[in-house]
Chains A and B, each alone.
Chain A
Amino acid sequence: DAMVIQNPRYQVTQFGKPVTLSCSQTLNHNVMYWYQQKSSQAPKLLFHYYDKDFNNEADTPDNFQSRRPNTSFCFLDIRSPGLGDAAMYLCATSRAWTGGSANYGYTFGSGTRLTVV
């Protein structure tokens, strides 16, 4: 089945130690998104890629970076994780908008829960 896969499911990292979360998709979607979700809160968009074009949200800290080497993969790099970065990180994909479609929407991965110690 076509899907969005996030690895690892759980990640523990040390305060200040760089960490990378990965996302892959078999849907061949143009757009890939990274969301941060803290406990019992709404997901917050960090950035997204439309093909190779990177789009950063204005309030995303510089500590967060992303790479998309090809259509299938997207990475979230946290350069110096702080305790406040502990959260669930959700990857999502969507195809490019080409007009009215009853099936338009996002597909989410299962998320990576990041713990900072």
Chain B
Amino acid sequence: AQRVTQPEKLLSVFKGAPVELKCNYSYSGSPELFWYVQYSRQRLQLLLRHISRESIKGFTADLNKGETSFHLKKPFAQEEDSAMYYCALSGPGSYIPTFGRGTSLIVHP
């Protein structure tokens, strides 16, 4: 069975500090990994996916198959990064993501 684990319910940092939101997954095969974000009073939206290998809003995430992790990182957090972040996984050809429970990121001024 596929599973996504986000061990931190809440992550609180100060502006300018580095951020790492953890995501571990369980899947037998080659999954596709995503990070979704939900800002206050906005709808859930895709932030980035591992196959794109892009940096979005300064965030990057690297798929580590050995550690089955897909941690989201940003070197210098901004107040506008405060949001709920969900890691998600889908099997190849499935396109139905399995979501983690989410991590609330709060960036203090």
| A complexed with B | no
Interface residues of B (CB under 8 A from A): none
Interface residues of A (CB under 8 A from B): none
